[in-house]
Amino acid sequence: MSRIPTTFGLRVLVAVILTGLLSVLDSTLVVPLLATIGDEFGAGSEVSWLIAGYLLTSTVSIPLWGRWMDLRGERNAMWAALLVFFIGTVIAMIATSLPLLILGRLIQGVGAGGLVPVGQAIVAARCTGDERARLQVFYNVAYGTAAGLGPLIGGALILLGFSWRWAFAAILPVIIITGLLLWGKLSSRPRESETRRFDTLGSILMTSGLTLLLLGIERSWWVAFVAGILALVAFVWHALRRRDGLIPAGLLKSTTIVAASSVALVIGFVQFAMLTFLPHLAQDAAPGLNSGIVVVPLTLLWLTLGAFTGMLALRIGTKPLAILSVVLAVGASVTVCLSTAYSSLLLSSVLVGAAAGLILIPALLLSQHAAPREDVGAATSFMILMRNFGGAAGAAVVAVLLVDGGVSLAFGVLAIVAAAALLPALLLPSRETERRVIAAAIGSRHT
């Protein structure tokens, strides 16, 4: 692997990796602690909001952070995200009641919504196409490692008799170290040629639409679901009418960006549904085993494949990787439909891990290449938004269907949704067209 570009720097690379690690680790670390927290506060199902609330606010705030970076510069956006995340972590650590703990998690989610897209946009803005793909390896390794280690660390805290508060206390030093590494290394210059007004109406429409849609799915509130759809339709209509919106019209009009983001949404839908529910099925299939082991193949393949598929896509194109990813996601869902034996669950974990590892990084890189230089932050946040929203929706949909119709219905619907991603995968550019897109992006960066 070649050296780190001098325009990037080792300190910034390590700091950006830590921002992704913070966001992912905090989302998975709490999962094994829910029962302990519920017992301490005498809570029932409300404790699930420690996960749902974090995922909700981190998802809906993603485009706000990306656009803020484009308009106000990377330094302002990153420092604000770190500060919000720090405040939320402190509140969660000292919480004396479940509502206060949930509030801390909601604030953490808002900060986390900025850490990943701003960090990845910093990578995208400072590197050429080849450099960007290589540096994404480091980022993806940290992301996958945190996803796998989070539940193990949370479970270890329980086994060793530590308070759940240590899950938040241990994060605080990492936030401080990240800030020290970034001190004096970020630019305050906006990516836009001139500072423009923030898209307040677009922000309200998108945030309310995504929030209502997720709440409608998770709580089966159909009024909220319909209201969310209408708000998102209004947002798209609004965004297409202005160049400098929360998500610029050029991104929504780009077939390449919309297709890549749609594939990421569906793969996220399947991936997070599997991450959430395979351990529950494994507990029934093999009560004597650690149920978390079943998702180890998923996280390992997501980690190892994602470490080099960015470079692979530069050679063979993103389209074949996307098509293969869709086929694997369908196969993973069908496997669980046919059997919930432990071996079948492991096979499904392998397939969906490979599906995520093959396409998520190439799709992100393609979107960044296809976006105008001044909209790289918005393109990055849009891609991550689609992936995370797909994950949140997938977990919520499967949860509802498991209660209403059982495993066959839930994972049958998952297979149908996965198969629907074949259409946007086929709309991705050919290898030759993709190379022209990358060449144009590199040319614009050096003009």
Which two structure tokens, joined as six digits, stand for 285?
């299939």
**What is the model's pLDDT at position 193?**
47
pTM of the model: 0.76
Of the candidates 223, 225, 231, 230, the one whose C-alpha atom is nearest the C-alpha of residue 206 is 231
H-state helical runs in 240-341: 249-253, 255-285, 296-306, 309-316, 318-338
CA distances from 302 to 10, 245, 292, 325, 352 (A): 24, 33, 16, 12, 8
> Which residue in this structure is represented by tokens 């301490």?
40
| Max mean pLDDT range (43-57, 239-253, 321-335, 380-394) | 321-335
pLDDT for the residue 230: 96
Helix (H, G, I), strand (E, B) or coil at 252: helix
DSSP state of 373: G
Give me the pLDDT at residue 419, please.
96
pLDDT band at 138 (very low <50, low <70, confident <90, very high): low
What integer pLDDT is reported at residue 194 of this predicted model? 47
- Strand, coil or helix: what is 423? helix
Tell me how far apart the alpha carbons of residues 381 and 404 are, in angstroms, rounded to a whole number.
34
Q: What residue type is assigned to position 246 of the chain?
A: L
| Residue showing tokens 């689609």 | 386
How many CA atoms lie less than 13 Å away from 197 in the CB half-sphere?
5
The pLDDT score that the predictor gives to residue 431 is: 86
Which of 29, 9, 188, 37 minimizes the C-alpha distance to 108?
Answer: 29
CA–CA separation, 231 and 382 (whole Å): 17
Query: How many helices (DSSP H) and strands (DSSP E) are in the chain?
Result: 20, 0
Percent of the chain with pLDDT over 70: 83
Structure tokens at 423: 């259409």
What DSSP character marks residue 5?
P
Segment 368-397 shows an average pLDDT of 82
Looking at per-residue pLDDT, the higher value among 423 and 156 belongs to 423
Q: Please give the average per-residue pLDDT across 206-226, as a whole number.
A: 85
CA gap 123, 138 in Å, rounded: 11
Q: What count of other Cβ atoms lies within 10 Å of the Cβ of residue 36? A: 15
